[in-house]
Structure 1
């Protein structure tokens, strides 16, 4: 019998959203492991969440070690407890009620390392739009940026055989690094299109021009651009640093980690970020990250 657990990395979660997230998925799992990266509201997490669900196994770190470290910890714990697959989750993700039942259809397919849902993020795709799509039951993903950690069912043995992810990435492009490792080593990523995940990536800033163009043309390019994710300068530092690390270290990096794509991505941010953001500070962070990529070693933890 296949054993499936869940794993979630927390940092300062919004409690009501976290409760909604867990309530949607907990009954689909045997156990949910939570790695808390030093949240200041840990007492509230324990009271409102951990103590409510007997299936939760909660571990608290005294300091923020990053998403990459937490992911490695969760998958190592999953292996120690003899689980075959681990559903990795973000604290702000809402899973559909049929996620695990859909995933189970594909876990015996050859060389499957990761199974992903259809992702609806930042209102770029609404649930109503998703339901109207004519999609195959499943498809294989070859673009590493098209599979995120949240909502992804991960083969525990393969993950650990690949030595996990580089903990020095800390945050951003952690899932991309894993996807590149999977593809470079001859494994496959499958997307199950009959299940979905609602994901919030940073704060969303609506771009009215592209929203209007999408409504008029229905072109996917404008759909992707109609909502600009608002990241901190620190997040943009990690984005720039880690994307360059990916380009330098893997073969199956895809088009969306290329220097040209990332440069256009940051230019888009410059044009459509809220007016109160300092473009100078933003670009200083991006340039510093670009230079600092060399300090990320290949050591794992």
Structure 2
């Protein structure tokens, strides 16, 4: 059995996506957990979503912004408690189709030795694959997205964004692997899937597609990813989520990185002189 987990926070225009996704999931035999993460509360959402009364829908009314990691962790705990086999993470601003669920079930049946499976993520027009959602972290924790030509082979991956991943609950239960909520909303998804993949591989599913509108178009090439890997070593007056991203990237390097490039990154990030020079050139 599959439990889909959807975190809801001030959905606004995305309410139509949520309603459509839940209907498709329920019609496909998938159970749903909705994490309500704003002050609106259950009673208000019940006026808008009649599916909340469905016996196959669970609701966690948090009444505050708990961040995605908390909601997905609660989903996995519920899945273990209710003996679900898999958790399916769905962002409130993404779009699922009947074909998506069909292909996920087909992959589950044919690929038994995995910790997580990741859907392909397309833009709102269905033309561009958002590759930065799926890829591999190198030994020095540089992220490389999967080249489009390799998608058709359903390649192994060790890092994936939350949206559209299927997590095998037996791996979570046997190894006590959960999301590190202290990371907030930056790179916690890569950290979680990387730890899963160290136990059992993760795979990309080329034929299972989720649409993710309004997402940035990233530099999906090796040169751009290398630039990011080294520019993100420095704070450079960053604030908010950008600052947290740098902090968490440094954490990943220190925690999991190995080899000469890892040591080089560690040297660079602790060089006060380089940081000062980059700040001057930035101005």
TM-score range normalised by the length of the shorter chain: 0.5 to 0.7
Task: Give the 3 Å change call, closer, same or farther, for CA 44–259 of structure 1 in structure 2.
Answer: farther
Residue in structure 1 matching 2:247, options 221, 238, 241: 241
* Deviations, residues 124-169 of structure 1 (Å, cap 9, x unaligned): xx42466xx877654223352xx22111111012123233111111
Paired with 1:61 and 1:52, the residues of 2 have a C-alpha distance of: 15
Task: Give the 3 Å change call, closer, same or farther, for CA 239–40 of structure 1 in structure 2.
Answer: farther
In angstroms, what is the RMSD of aligned CA positions? Answer: 3.5
Partner of 1:47: 47
Paired with 2:198 and 2:40, the residues of 1 have a C-alpha distance of: 39
Counterparts in 2 of 1:114-263, with a 5 A limit?
114-121=116-123, 126-128=125-127, 137-144=152-159, 147-160=160-173, 161-185=175-199, 187-200=200-213, 204=216, 233-251=239-257
Paired with 1:51 and 1:163, the residues of 2 have a C-alpha distance of: 31
How many residues get paired? Answer: 230
* Deviations, residues 268-294 of structure 1 (Å, cap 9, x unaligned): xxxxxxxxxxxx9xx9xxxxxxxxxxx
Task: Give the 3 Å change call, closer, same or farther, for CA 59–129 of structure 1 in structure 2.
Answer: closer
Paired with 2:222 and 2:252, the residues of 1 have a C-alpha distance of: 24
Structure 1 gaps of 5+ residues are 211-218, 225-231, 264-279, 284-301
Task: Give the 3 Å change call, closer, same or farther, for CA 176–50 of structure 1 in structure 2.
Answer: farther
Contact 2:158–2:197, Cα closer than 8 Å, also in 1: no
Deviation at 1:98, TM superposition (A): 1.5
Partner of 1:214: none
Partner of 1:69: 70
Q: Secondary structure at the match of 2:6?
A: strand
Moved more, 55-64 or 38-47: 38-47
Contact 2:33–2:75, Cα closer than 8 Å, also in 1: yes
Contact 1:65–1:170, Cα closer than 8 Å, also in 2: no
Task: Give the 3 Å change call, closer, same or farther, for CA 16–51 of structure 1 in structure 2.
Answer: same
Q: Secondary structure at the match of 1:192?
A: strand
Deviation at 1:193, TM superposition (A): 0.8
Paired with 2:108 and 2:170, the residues of 1 have a C-alpha distance of: 13
Q: Secondary structure at the match of 1:62?
A: coil
Deviation at 1:4, TM superposition (A): 1.3
Task: Give the 3 Å change call, closer, same or farther, for CA 10–248 of structure 1 in structure 2.
Answer: farther
Contact 1:6–1:29, Cα closer than 8 Å, also in 2: no
Partner of 1:291: none
Q: Secondary structure at the match of 2:154?
A: strand
* TM-score w.r.t. length of structure 1: 0.64
Moved more, 5-14 or 48-57: 48-57
